[in-house]
């Protein structure tokens, strides 16, 4: 297996193509960069020189039969999946393909409410009906956890006609549900099990990390290679198990994915898969060690809480991704987004996100101990300079929704725009979320409650980036007439 994994067929084909000196009378119009010298100077000749269109020697992403197909087979082998698909529309495209391949209009799908917006977007597209398993909350941290086994069991028993169960593996904060048990329950009920593994690429290559979706027996998994796997932004894998019709999945992919697949993205997937297959265990062992070191140093500062495996309870926190450096900030009187802004503006440190109570520093193969020490020092100084009384701060990230109608029906219904505060009691017809992490506070078809309005106003005041609504300033909101 390792010998085969040394291949990178798309990369190798591009190298051969580069040596051929082909005269381009095809797209893209920059003609290997000659037509756009400013772009070429910015990105480099090597980069724009392989920004090419599909052609016989380079295969075709929509109907692969040579180098792209070989790259897919190598990826499937590396991730221990039956099939792997190269995705150039981000993991959003992978997640939506999972749902569109499994659900049609009127079908039920069981899922946690703390899903990424791409999941609910897919429900808008296909018309499936969500059956939410509202996650348990950690009262201290104010974050949503995983799905409890008894909650999933009850949802399956009450909705025997559901076609699938979707699981976050892990959540943005590193929380994992009991995936093996959920897969077993879903399959015993004749349902598919889908995994959003946008933040779990490394599970396939690390020692002592939570179980991967394919190892747990899930039917499909959306794997965000560009997050922890080292590939270029927007590149992803979609993995499928043995009981999924791969030909149909490719047809679904081709409904929405571009016919002009980027060879920059595809070659980055190819090269990164090779790197992880050959050296992933060593890479992620170092990442885990760095994260554990940083957790200890941050907790020694006082006031902050960098949480980890101590949260595990055998159920709603069945496991924890120890590469995730999630830090609770509320006890120093600062919202996570406030710490996020200070780190960027005053210390030139860019972390992944800050929400109303936590920050996340995303660690992976490119990080070094000296940079973590700089982060720890900055957090210590922020505590000294900015600490205040936390009284009056919101304590929970997740507000339990009241679902009234399906996301699709709400999104396409007749609607009107009203001032945000006048939306109280009305049915929302659009999304409202802080991005990142991209988990909707409100989704189409949900009732606007006082708690939700309070949460939105608080998040806006603290500086969260509010997205999803038609009104970019979120002074108004679209509701059903």
- Over range 155-169, report the average pLDDT: 98
Pair of tokens at residue 283: 């890479």
Give the pTM.
Answer: 0.95
What is the distance between the alpha carbons of residues 262 and 87, in angstroms, rounded to a whole number? 10
- CA quadruple 324, 329, 335, 337: dihedral, nearest 10: -30
286-309 pLDDT, tens digit each: 999 999 999 999 999 999 999 999
Q: Which residues are bridge partners to 417 per DSSP? A: 478
What is the distance between the alpha carbons of residues 357 and 393, in angstroms, rounded to a whole number? 9
Whether 63 shows a pLDDT value over 90: the answer reads yes
Best CATH choice for the domain 407-480 from the list 3.90.100.10, 3.40.50.300, 1.10.10.10, 3.30.360.10: 3.90.100.10
How far is residue 258 from each of residues 60, 283, 430, measured CA to CA in Å? 11, 32, 26
120-149 pLDDT, tens digit each: 999 999 999 999 998 888 988 988 899 999
What is the per-residue DSSP string for 141-196?
A: TTEE----HHHHHHHHHH-TT--EEEEESS-TTSEE--HHHHHHHHHHTT-EEEEE
The mean predicted confidence, pLDDT, of the chain is 95
Domain 59-268 part of CATH 3.90.1150.10: no
Question: At 171, is the pLDDT very low, low, confident or very high (cuts 50, 70, 90)?
Answer: very high
Instruction: Please tell me the class of the 280-386 domain.
Output: alpha beta
The predicted pLDDT at position 8 comes to: 97
Whether 264 shows a pLDDT value over 80: the answer reads yes
Q: Where are the domains of the chain?
A: 59-268, 280-386, 407-480
């Amino acid at each position: 297996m390792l010998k085969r994994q040394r291949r990178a067929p798309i990369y190798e084909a591009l190298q051969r193509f580069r040596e051929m000196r082909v005269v381009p009378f095809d797209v893209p119009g920059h003609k290997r960069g000659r037509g756009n010298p400013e772009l070429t100077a910015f990105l480099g000749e090597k980069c724009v020189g392989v920004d090419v269109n599909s052609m016989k020697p380079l295969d075709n992403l929509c109907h692969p039969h040579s180098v792209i197909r070989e790259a897919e087979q190598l990826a499937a082998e590396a991730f221990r999946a039956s099939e792997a698909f190269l995705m150039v529309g981000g993991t959003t495209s992978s997640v939506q393909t999972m749902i569109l391949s499994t659900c049609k209009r009127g079908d039920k799908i069981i899922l946690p409410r703390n899903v990424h917006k791409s999941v609910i977007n897919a429900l808008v597209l296909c018309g499936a009906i969500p059956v939410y398993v509202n996650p348990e909350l950690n009262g201290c941290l104010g974050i949503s956890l995983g799905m409890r086994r008894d909650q999933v069991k009850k949802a399956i028993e009450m909705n025997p006609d559901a076609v699938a169960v979707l699981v976050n593996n892990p959540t943005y904060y590193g929380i994992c549900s009991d995936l093996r048990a959920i897969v077993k329950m879903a399959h015993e009920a004749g349902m598919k099990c889908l995994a959003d593994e946008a933040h779990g690429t490394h599970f396939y290559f690390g020692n002592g990390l939570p179980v991967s979706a394919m190892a747990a027996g899930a039917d499909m998994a959306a794997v965000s290679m560009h997050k922890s796997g080292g590939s270029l932004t927007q590149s992803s894998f979609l993995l499928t198990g043995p009981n999924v019709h791969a030909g149909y999945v490719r047809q679904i992919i081709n409904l929405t994915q571009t016919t002009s697949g980027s060879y920059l993205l595809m070659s980055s997937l190819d090269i990164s898969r090779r790197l992880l297959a050959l050296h992933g265990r060593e890479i992620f062992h170092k990442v885990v060690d760095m994260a554990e070191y940083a957790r200890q140093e941050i907790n020694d500062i006082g006031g902050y809480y960098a949480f980890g495996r101590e949260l595990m309870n055998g159920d709603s926190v069945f496991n924890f991704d120890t590469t995730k450096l999630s830090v609770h900030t509320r006890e120093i009187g600062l919202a996570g987004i406030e710490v996020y802004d200070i780190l960027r503006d005053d210390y030139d440190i860019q972390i992944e996100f800050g929400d109303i109570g936590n920050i996340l520093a995303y660690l992976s193969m490119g990080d070094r101990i000296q940079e973590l020490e700089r982060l720890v020092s900055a957090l210590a100084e922020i505590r000294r300079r900015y600490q205040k009384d936390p009284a009056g701060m919101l304590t929970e990230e997740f507000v339990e929704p009241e679902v009234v109608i399906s996301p699709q029906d709400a999104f396409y219904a007749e609607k009107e725009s009203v001032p945000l505060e006048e939306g109280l009691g009305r049915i929302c017809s659009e999304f409202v979320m802080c991005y990142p992490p991209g988990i909707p506070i409100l989704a189409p078809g949900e009732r606007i409650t006082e708690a939700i309005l309070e949460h939105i106003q608080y998040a806006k005041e603290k500086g969260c980036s509010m997205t999803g609504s038609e009104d970019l300033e979120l002074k108004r909101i679209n509701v059903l007439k």
